[in-house]
Structure 1
Amino acid sequence: MASELVNVIVAFAFIYLLVRWFSKGNDNARADSPAAILGFSPRKATDDMIATVHAAFPDIPRANIHYDLLKTGSAEVTSNKILERGVLDAPPAAYFRAFPLATQQAAQGQPTAVSSTPTPAQPRDLISRFQLEQRVAQPEPAAGATAVRASWDASAEKREASLRERKAQMILEARKRMAEKLQAQTAGSS
């Protein structure tokens, strides 16, 4: 009787250890799953959804869009969030373990940026972005001669041209003030 009890206890211990050993392999597989890495159950985010949101908001990095789509599962909700807040949260480092950058680049066929630093295709400064190189090289007109009066024009083209000109003037004035500030600093330090 006692030997049978010992055999039963040994058999249960063996089965317990065997089950535990096999389930340990499953825990590792679960720990590597995107849900375990990200801390939430990711929803489906297709390349079409990412492309749709990125087409509407090209200044938002694709990784940020993909991360938000994994949380929301909806291009509309992600778009509304961008419209309300102006930005999307950058994905945490764990996101890149679950979705490696190289995999994203290969799937999308283009580089993925996390930050909003300009890519080589984007101009690095406002002068080149707004194509004001020739206006910087021109001598300054008399004070007040370049002021554009803000008025409401009847045609959309005139309003757009007026807005473009005001932006250009603001950029050129800021550049002028910065040059004067740097000149004053160098004169003060000499």
Structure 2
Amino acid sequence: MDYSTIIFIATLAIAFLFLRWLIAPIPQTNEFDIPPTASRSTAATTSANASATTTTSSQRRNRRPVTDSMIEVVQTIAPGLTREQIRYDLENTGSVELTVERYMELGDLPFPPGYTPSPAPPAEPETGSSSSNSTKAVSGKPVNLLEKYNVDVDSGYEGQTLLQRKQQMIANARKRLEKQLRNEIDL
């Protein structure tokens, strides 16, 4: 073989290895960790007992300790939830993604057992200019746009106008098509 062919093949091999390394996903730091509760003696249990412990240990293995940053992430997405609700669900799921998904599906998260929600403290007016002024809720009663613009939801008027608009659009399209066909014939 020619010297340049050998260099070309070596370059391709190095490029392949580099690209494979570049594209490979980065493993999580806790991906290969074994929980401290699992020991070698658990592997020596009977097969019936092993299957029961496998399911519970796999559930425990997927759970991570709940941190304040995990709670803050969920609270950013769901500001109406209490920290106790978020912590309880994160302890059950061990995952921010699963907790957020459960919140999106249910609209709320369960309270921990034995927890009684405290009444909301009265809103205090903020003084001074801080960055939280932009996130302050609008005071007063919520605006009902249907009443504000005198829109009657039960009236069939809107359906009739949509049907009339549809018929008018079809008629206009037919007129334009007829006009185009006449222009093509005249040419």
TM-score, length basis structure 2: 0.34
Answer 1 or 2: which has greater helix percent. 1
Max Rg structure: 2
- Which structure ranks higher in relative contact order (CA pairs < 8 Å, sequence separation ≥ 6)? 1
TM-score (norm 1): 0.33
